[in-house]
A and B are shown apart, each in its own frame.
Chain A
Amino acid sequence: MHRNCRDADMTKLTRRALIHAGMGLAAAVAAPAGLARAQATPLILYNGQHRATTEALVAAFTKATGIKVTERNAESPELASQIIEEGARSPADVFFSEQSPPIASLAERGLLGQVDPATLKLIPDKFAARDGTWIGTSVRTRVLTYNKKLITPEQLPKSIMDVASPAYAGKIGYVKQDGFQEQVMAIVHIRGRPAALEWLKTLKANGRAYNGNRIASTAVENGEIAFALSNNYYWYSLAREKGAANLASALYSFPGDDAGNIFNVSAAGMLKTSRNQETAQRFLAFMLSQEGQVAMADTTAEYPVISGVTSPFELAPLSAFTAPVSPADMGSASDAYSLEREAGLI
């Protein structure tokens, strides 16, 4: 435990050095601050991202710009539904979503404005909306969480396509939200629609559905089920709470270029109806600045989206995830839902 703490401090130190190096960019982002500081109205942020992450980000933003941010916290899909009901009268300026599909659904309804092109340029295209309405702010990967006492890595499936084969009947858990749609879309892209439908049907027949990644990964940890499809950071947050050495569960990725090795992003965008657009754009730019990325990376086990910032968590290198489908391709993943309907999952 103590050793880990020291390691974390070390990484922080090196990152601090990096920040100094990246001061130029930060200064560029904060440049018009002096002007706005006097009269800036607080930014209204609808936040579906984990609260600790957003609070760290907001604190850094306010410190850098002097602009206050009013947060409304809830689950991302709830907030997306709320914004849809609010329509043109939404008080929100910026929506920060834990996953990209909720924010993409707002884009499809024409509720988002364009993100500043300069901001979009800060990240690779695959992390942002094709139409430039939202930006990915951090990356997480899809993984298998498995219980070390119930199954060994050698016994685990070699491909996402095999996870629901009869050999694993009753051993696989899955969650229909948060990352699952993206998984289905990746299979559609690589193997085609009929294969994806078949995959969903066997998953329904042989798998056990959980109502949330958190619940599923707890079930794996407790030995209720051998393994589950999940997002990487749930294991890390449990490891932080209980200590990694005390965990019965571990993470596993499929070997090679598998359709199961995909990544998802947390995403943010500005409401088209925002009455505070200049500040909203500054906030989005700040999210992709060195300071903003460091603030977020420190609080959650996700990969930063700009080069030069590293996560203090010991994450597997992102290069292993040769994702065939990127969040940009995904949109609100509506085809995944019609497939899930056909398979009787929803």
Chain B
Amino acid sequence: MRPPLWLVLACLVPSVLALMPIAYVALRSIEAGTSGILQDLVRPYTLNLLVNTLTLSVSVTVCAGLIAVAAAWCTERCDLPGRPVWRLVVTLPLAIPAYVSSFAWASLGPWFQEMQGAILILTFYSVPLIYLPVCAALRGLDPNFEDVARSLGLSRSRSFLRVVLPQISPALGAGALLVASHMLAEFGALSFLRVETFTTAIYDQYTAEFNNNAAALLSGVLMLICLPVAFGEAAVRGRRRYARISRGSARLLTPIALGGFTPVVMLALALLAVASFVVPLVTLGFWVWQGSSTGRGIATVVPAMFTSLGYALPGAVLTTVLAIPLVVGSIQFRGWIARVSDRLPYLVHGLPGIVVALAGVFMSIRYLPEVYQSTTLVLLVYAVLFLPLAQSAVRASAELVPRELTDVARSLGKPPLAAFVLAMLPNLAPGIGAALALVALQLMRELTATLLLAPAGVVTLATEFWSYTSDRAYGAAAPFAAALVLISGVPVYLFTMRALRVVERP
């Protein structure tokens, strides 16, 4: 079946946007290649970067995946007391920007730096990104499948591996993809932790050599690394269908008794919260208590908060609106164009923020000078940076909608767009809500694109935090970080509630 025209057009916009940084990197890399920098790439130093980048990305994704699935299993399927509280506890780290938590941890000593520290800290940070979709998937499972597996003689662990795991694998895969590609691009946290990856080396190229071409060449390599990540997840998901027409069994799942393990699980979850939430907050408190700059700029906290929201909310709406057609197109129409356009943004997600921001400079000043350093441009670049977050969230809902729904609407005489709006869109609501919250959360802490591309004089919580910490005015910086954590709590809470919307049944 051919996709309708409106969908093709709607997919074109985000695809063109995502292609811009790719084109920029390609252009600059070609320039670099012809000027002989290519040989520079083949050195032990680059190999070292490759090893570090892959070690970090794979380790964090695997560790966060294991912790997230275990935590999701305990809070969803077991008789852990106070489960709603524990769910929030596991998701709280989302409210802390990675650069704040890594600063806090790195100041505890050298053990928490370098690769082991980076893996540890970024794992804590990444757990919620996998935990939430996995929780949602676990809740949606039909217990019948497990009953059948058990009645056929499979043990509990074997039925988990053969029945439960395949069903939560799309959610697990989507979360893992986000974490893996995010780790490729992470910079702020790593700079405190003394780990060198492709992304930090790209920053080095900009900061030490002012060599945009050499930096682009490294970015090109980074995109190649991202390629198998982006398409691999689609392969894991495969062509399986997850949508069901029937509501399935109405029987409720009986929670599994944890028995003697209850205190162990509670202790582990509490430790997770302390590590990822309490340590950074205590550090902020320490700054305020110790700093002579405490109180400086305090009057800007509230206006900066409103500016942060003023950019993050429209940015989240735009990003989500652009993400919907990509997801719908790739699920309902299996052509290669739909698949590639759905994957393009994931490639870009693995690029460092500075590269995407400079691509925005390059493209806008040449082809759209009217929007240069305007709100429009910065919102568009935000979308390029964070489309995949919205896509993953929307996909989680869209996978569950039978495509026949739109067909039915069409057969009742509705034109394609109306059929989509009437039959499909309402079913995407939970995913859209989650996408808005998640993207808004990331946008509030975005720094590089905001500094280079927002209209002059725009002051957000993130820019103020950066500004004061680079003057070492930690006491003055702390309230901005605290405000960031505080307003991040709102989307985190909404996101958690959205993702886990199924009401706790008695």
A residues apposed to B, CB below 8 Å: 44, 50-52, 70-75, 77-82, 84-87, 89-91, 101-102, 105, 176-178, 181, 208-212, 214-215, 218-219, 222, 224-225, 234, 237-238, 240-243, 332, 334, 337, 340-341, 344, 346
Residues of A within 8 A of B473 (CB): 52, 237, 241
Knowing that A44-B456, A50-B470, A242-B290 are A-B contacts, what are 4 other residue pairs whose CB atoms are under 8 Å apart, sorted by A's residue number? A72-B451, A72-B456, A178-B207, A209-B194
Pair B207/A75 contact, Cβ less than 8 Å:
yes
The answer to whether B207 and A77 have CB atoms under 8 Å apart is yes
User: Does chain A have a CB within 8 A of B86?
Assistant: no
Chain B positions within 8 Å of A81 at CB level: 206, 210, 212, 215, 354, 358
User: In the assembled complex, which residues on chain B have CB atoms less than 8 Å from the CB atom of A72?
Assistant: 373, 451-452, 456
List chain B residues, Cβ under 8 A from A87. Answer: 365
Whether A102 and B210, one on each chain, are in contact in the complex, defined by CB atoms closer than 8 angstroms, is yes
Q: How far is the CA of A50 from the CA of B451 in the complex (A)?
A: 14
**Cβ of B208 and Cβ of A337 under 8 Å apart?**
yes
**Closest chain A CB from B212 CB (angstroms):** 6
How far, in angstroms, from A82 to B365 measured CA to CA in the complex?
11
Give the most central of B293, B369, B456: most A CB within 10 Å.
B456
For the complex, what is the distance from the CA of A177 to the CA of B109, rounded to whole Å? 22
Contacts A85-B358, A212-B191, A344-B44: A71 and B474 contacting too (C-beta < 8 A)?
no
- Beyond A177-B208, A346-B45, whether A82 also contacts B470 by CB under 8 A is no
B43 within 8 Å of A by Cβ?
Answer: yes
- Using an 8 Å CB-CB cutoff, how does the interface string of B431-454 with A read, 1 for contact, 0 for none? 000000000000000001001100
Bound-complex Cα distance A315 to B426 (A): 67
- Assess A77 versus B206: contact at CB under 8 Å? Given A71-B457, A85-B361, A222-B107: yes
Chain B 184-207 residues near chain A, CB threshold 8 A: 190-192, 194, 196, 200-201, 204, 206-207
Listed in ascending order, the chain B residues whose CB lies under 8 Å from chain A are: 40, 43-45, 106-107, 109-110, 190-192, 194, 196, 200-201, 204, 206-210, 212, 215, 290-293, 354, 358, 361-362, 365-366, 369, 372-373, 448, 451-452, 456-457, 463, 467, 469-475
Residues of B within 8 A of A234 (CB): 472
Select A91's contact among B44, B107, B354, B372, beta carbons within 8 Å.
B372
CB <8 Å contact, B291 and A241:
yes
Q: Return the chain A residue nearest B293 by Cβ.
A: A241
* Residue pair B107, A86 in contact (C-beta under 8 Å): no
Q: Please report the C-alpha to C-alpha distance between residue A73 and residue B369 in the assembled complex, in whole angstroms.
A: 21
B291–A242 contact, CB under 8 A?
yes
Interchain CA distance A8-B215 in the complex, whole Å: 45
Q: Which residues of A contact B107 (CB under 8 A)?
A: 218, 222
A346 touches B200 (CB 8 A): no
Chain A residues near B45 (CB-CB < 8 A): 341, 344, 346
A237 touches B192 (CB 8 A): no
- Nearest residue (CB) in B for A237 is B472
Q: How many Å from the CB of A243 to the closest CB on chain B?
A: 7
B110 touches A224 (CB 8 A): yes
Cα-based distance from A193 to B129 in the complex (angstroms) = 50
The smallest C-beta distance from A257 to any residue of chain B, in angstroms, reads 27
Name the residue of chain B whose CB is nearest to the CB of A209.
B194
Say how far B115's CB is from chain A's closest CB, in angstroms.
14
Q: List 28 A-B contacts (CB under 8 A).
A: A50-B471, A52-B473, A74-B448, A75-B207, A79-B452, A81-B206, A81-B210, A81-B212, A81-B354, A81-B358, A89-B366, A91-B373, A102-B210, A177-B207, A210-B194, A219-B110, A222-B109, A225-B110, A237-B473, A240-B292, A240-B293, A241-B474, A242-B292, A340-B208, A341-B40, A341-B45, A346-B208, A346-B209
The verdict on A241 contacting B292 (CB below 8 Å), with A91-B373, A177-B207 known, is yes
CB distance from A201 to the nearest CB of B (A): 13
A126 → B minimal CB distance (Å): 22
Closest to B193 in A: A211
Q: Quick check: A332 and B204 within 8 Å, CB to CB?
A: no
Question: Closest 7 interchain pairs by CB?
Answer: A105-B210, A77-B207, A74-B451, A211-B191, A237-B472, A85-B361, A70-B456
Residue among A82, A224, A225 making CB contact with B361, cutoff 8 Å = A82
Q: Given A44-B456, A81-B206, A242-B290 in contact, is the A86-B365 Cβ separation under 8 Å?
A: yes
Q: Flag if B472 contacts A224 (CB, 8 Å).
A: no
Q: How far is the CB of B363 from chain A (nearest CB, A)?
A: 9
List chain A residues, Cβ under 8 A from B191.
211-212, 215
Kindly list chain A residues whose C-beta atoms are within 8 Å of the C-beta of B43.
341, 344
Residues on B with C-beta less than 8 A from A332 are 210
CB within 8 A of A70: which of B192, B365, B372, B457? B457
State A89–B358 Cα separation when bound (angstroms).
Answer: 14
> Is the beta-carbon distance between A51 and B471 smaller than 8 angstroms?
yes
A181-B354 in contact given A70-B457, A89-B369, A222-B109 (Cβ < 8 Å): no
* Alpha-carbon distance between A105 and B473 when the two chains are bound, in angstroms: 30
Within 8 Å CB of B212, what residues of A? 81, 84-85
**Of B40, B110, B362, B475, which one neighbours A241 at CB under 8 angstroms?**
B475
CB closest chain-A residue, reference B448: A78
B452 / chain A contacts, CB cutoff of 8 Å: 72, 74, 78-79, 82
Which residues from B are CB-within-8-Å of A86? 361, 365
Q: B194 touching A80 by the CB < 8 A rule?
A: no
Q: How far is the CA of A177 from the CA of B451 in the complex (A)?
A: 20
Q: A74-B452, A75-B207, A240-B292 are in contact. Are A214 and B470 (CB under 8 A)?
A: yes
- Whether the Cβ atoms of B194 and A176 lie closer than 8 Å is no
**Max chain B Cβ within 10 angstroms of own Cβ: one of A85, A102, A346:** A85
Closest B residue by C-beta to A87: B365
The distance in angstroms between the C-alpha atoms of A82 and B373, with both chains bound, is 12
Chain A residues near B192 (CB-CB < 8 A): 211, 215
Contacts of B209 in A (CB 8 A): 334, 337, 346
* Distance, CA A78 to CA B466, complexed state (A): 14
Closest B residue to A214 using CB positions: B472
Closest chain A residue to B195, Cβ basis: A211
- Could you say which residues of chain B place their CB within 8 Å of the CB of A344? 43-45
Asked if residues A243 and B292 are in contact (CB atoms below 8 Å), the reply is yes
How far is it, in angstroms, between the C-alpha of A86 and the C-alpha of B372 when the chains are bound?
A: 10
Q: Are A176 and B208 in contact (CB under 8 A)?
A: yes
User: Roughly how many angstroms separate A322 CA and B433 CA in the complex, as a whole number?
Assistant: 63
Chain B residue nearest to A77 in the complex (CB): B207
Question: Which one of B206, B362, B463 lies within 8 Å of A78 (CB-CB)?
Answer: B206
- Give the distance in Å from the alpha carbon of A334 to the alpha carbon of B209 in the complex: 7
Q: How far, in Å, is B471 (CB) from chain A's closest CB?
A: 5
Name the residue of chain B whose CB is nearest to the CB of A88: B365
What's the nearest-Cβ distance from chain B to residue A102, in Å?
Answer: 6
- In the bound complex, how far is the Cα of B44 from the Cα of A91, in angstroms? 41
Chain A residues with Cβ under 8 A from B44's Cβ? 344
